[in-house]
Structure 1
Amino acid sequence: MTSIASVTLEVADPAAANRFYTTAFRLDSQIHLRASQTPTTGFRGFTLSLVVSQPANVNALIDAAVDAGATVVKPASKSLWGYGGVVQAPDGTVWQVASSSKRDTGPATRQIDEIVLLLGVEDVKASKRFYVERGLAVAKSFGSKYVEFAAGSGPVKLALYKRGALAKVVGVSADGTGSHRLTIGGGAGSFTDPDGFAWTAEAETASL
């Protein structure tokens, strides 16, 4: 089964970005960084989500991110589906931190249970077909609104959402132009999807 082996963020200052991610989220092998000055403005069309077990862990990760230089886009709060908030890293990447639980069951930690790459797409059904044809297995599908693929052996799960809806969920304008500043590595090969997200061939050996 095809899955994501790596996610590479293109950033202006890789050393600074590495300090942020290792300090705030304790991510090193899961997220790769590459220097880039490719023009980009506004919403880049994707978010990365950190899924955790309880609200206290959401708060711990968001607080650590802010201390490391992130900006709060949406303060953490309860919702119908759980508890979560949104921050923007100094390199511009939008991160959601969320839990399906609304109450704590233990001391706060910064343990991350799952990383999800959410791509904002123009046509969810068409993009779903595109990825299924390249070997990704659908885990959840809600018509033309949302699709989630099985993570397989990779450290990051892929999901698709309407671009405008994704921007609304994280609290930013859907407007944006230029590079996504994102490259996805996996066993599906090298290609660019219908919304301009680039994939490169990479062995699926990474894990959380």
Structure 2
Amino acid sequence: MTVIESLIVETPDTAAAEAFYTALVGPDGPVAVRSSDAPSSGFRGFTLSLIASQPDNVDALYDAAIASGGTPLKPAKKSLWGYGGLVTAPDGTILNIATSTKKNTGPAAREFDKIVLLIGAEDVGASKQFYVDHGLTVGKSFGRKYVEFTSEKEHIQLGLYTRRALAKTAGVSPDGSGSHRIAIGSDAGPFTDPDGFAWESA
């Protein structure tokens, strides 16, 4: 089964990005940074999510993201689906920090359970089939609107959403052009998906 082992964020300011991601996922975490001046504007077509076990952990991660150079996009609050907030990283990546529960069950900790890469696809159905053909296994699928692929806890999970819906959830315009400024490291690369996301050999 194909798994995502790492994500490489590309940015002109590697120092700021490294400080940000180190504070959230640790120095040996699955998110790395490399230098790039590739033109990019507007919505880059994806979000990263840190999924925590309870609201207090979301708050701890959200506060750490802001203290480490992130910009508030949506404050953490309760919603129909749980509790969470959005932050823009120094490199421009939109980070969703969330939990599906609305109640705390233990002491607060600055920790998360998994990382999810959610890609805004132009054609969810076509991208779904592409990834199935490249060894990913579908866990949940809601027609041509949303797909979630299976993943072990230690690996990054991949999901597909329509580009417009993902941008709306993030509170930004769906318009954007140029580089996605992210590379996906896996045991199945290298290849480029239908939406232009580059996969590399991990």
Runs of 4+ in structure 1 over 4 Å off: none
Cα distance in structure 1, aligned partners of 2:155 and 2:22: 16
Aligned to 2:166: 166
Cα distance in structure 1, aligned partners of 2:132 and 2:181: 24
- Going from structure 1 to structure 2, the CA distance change for 1:65 and 1:128 (only over 3 Å counts) comes to same
Cα distance in structure 2, aligned partners of 1:29 and 1:109: 17
Aligned to 1:142: 142
Identity in percent = 59
Contact 1:3 1:153 in 2 (8 A): no
Aligned to 1:37: 37
Aligned to 1:63: 63
Count of aligned positions: 202
Cα distance in structure 2, aligned partners of 1:154 and 1:113: 9
Query: What amino acid does structure 2 have at the position aligned with 1:166?
Result: L
Query: What amino acid does structure 1 have at the position aligned with 2:164?
Result: G
- Report SS of the residue matched to 2:21: helix
Cα distance in structure 2, aligned partners of 1:113 and 1:27: 17
Contact 1:25 1:110 in 2 (8 A): no
CA-CA distance at 1:86 after TM superposition: 0.3
- Report SS of the residue matched to 2:140: strand
1:142-169 CA distance string (max 9 Å, x none): 1111111111475211110000100111
- Report SS of the residue matched to 1:144: coil
- Per the normalisation by structure 1, the TM-score is 0.93
Which stretches in structure 2 are left out of the alignment for 5+ residues?
Answer: none
Which stretches in structure 1 are left out of the alignment for 5+ residues?
Answer: 203-208
Q: How does 1:18-167 map to 2 (within 5 A)?
A: 18-26=18-26, 28-152=28-152, 155-167=155-167
- Per the normalisation by structure 2, the TM-score is 0.96
